[in-house]
Amino acid sequence: MHIAEDLEKALELVGRLYEGPTKYAKAVLRRWPRAWAAVAYVGGEAAGAEVYYAVTLARDACVHYYVVVEPKFRRRGVATALVRYVEEKCRGAVYMATTTEDNAAAVGLFTRLGYSVYRWGDLPRRIRENLLKATCGYDDDILLIKGASPADVGKELGEAGELWKETCLKPYLGVWSQ
Ligand SMILES: CC(C)(COP(=O)(O)OP(=O)(O)OC[C@H]1O[C@@H](n2cnc3c(N)ncnc32)[C@H](O)[C@@H]1OP(=O)(O)O)[C@@H](O)C(=O)NCCC(=O)NCCS
């Protein structure tokens, strides 16, 4: 397996495989200077992709925004390789992802790699609001985090206000078009 940065290919995979809105992936890649997209290749075939970005709150954070793997390549370590690749790229940062509690594959993937699980509802309001802005995780109910506690990262909003406005709120309101 090898992994390469490829924005267009990653968006194609995300658009085809992700069951949910992908306008946020496009928005962050086009509007946030520290956003990237990686594709994992197995035997020359694009097997999976990840869209990720860096944002500074009280700490530097790196968000695993979209992770998708072609069904025929699942359970073969493709997503694990993508998540590890992003961690290596963002070394020194705190890593975060959001998902829904019923997404056993995503929860299993991240917890096996050392991420802790928090329910949004269990976090103090200010921390929750800041981290929701940093992750645009409004459709999800849990936060997965590695490298610090939610409070350590989310006690300051930092750049996440600007990120949220440009790549989360505007696409949500339809103000920004592709
Ligand atoms: C989540 C997803 C990316 C995982 O991709 P993958 O390449 O199959 O994951 P890996 O092979 O690296 O799996 C790593 C671990 O995650 C867990 N896991 C993966 N799929 C699982 C499943 N369907 N059920 C339970 N645990 C699962 C397991 O612990 C697995 O290790 P194991 O295979 O040794 O038991 C893939 O299922 C997918 O594309 N789902 C649809 C999109 C999505 O929900 N993305 C996540 C949003 S955050």
How far does residue 79's CA lie from ligand 1's centre (Å)? 7
The domain spanning residue 122 has which CATH number?
3.40.630.30
Q: Residue 129 burial by CB count (10 A; 0-12/13-18/19+): exposed, middle or buried?
A: middle
Into how many domains does the chain fold? 1
As to burial, measured by CB atoms within 10 angstroms (0-12 exposed, 13-18 middle, 19+ buried), residue 80 is: middle
Whether 168 is in a domain gets the answer: yes
Q: What is the pLDDT of residue 107?
A: 98
Q: Does residue 136 fall inside a structural domain?
A: yes
* Atom 24 in ligand 1: residue holding the nearest Cα: 105
Please indicate, yes or no, if residue 178 is contained in any of the structural domains: no
Prediction pTM value: 0.96
Which residue range(s) make up the domain with 156?
A: 2-173
Ligand 1 contact, 112 CB (< 6 A): yes
Q: 124 C-alpha to center of ligand 1: Å?
A: 29
For residue 151, tell me if it sits in a domain: yes
In a domain, 29, yes or no: yes
Question: Which pLDDT tens digits describe the chain residue by residue (178 residues)?
Answer: 999 999 999 999 999 999 888 899 999 999 999 999 999 999 999 999 999 999 999 999 999 999 999 999 999 999 999 999 999 999 888 999 999 999 999 999 999 999 999 999 999 999 999 999 999 999 999 999 999 999 999 999 999 999 999 999 999 998 865 5
* Consecutive H or E run containing 120: none
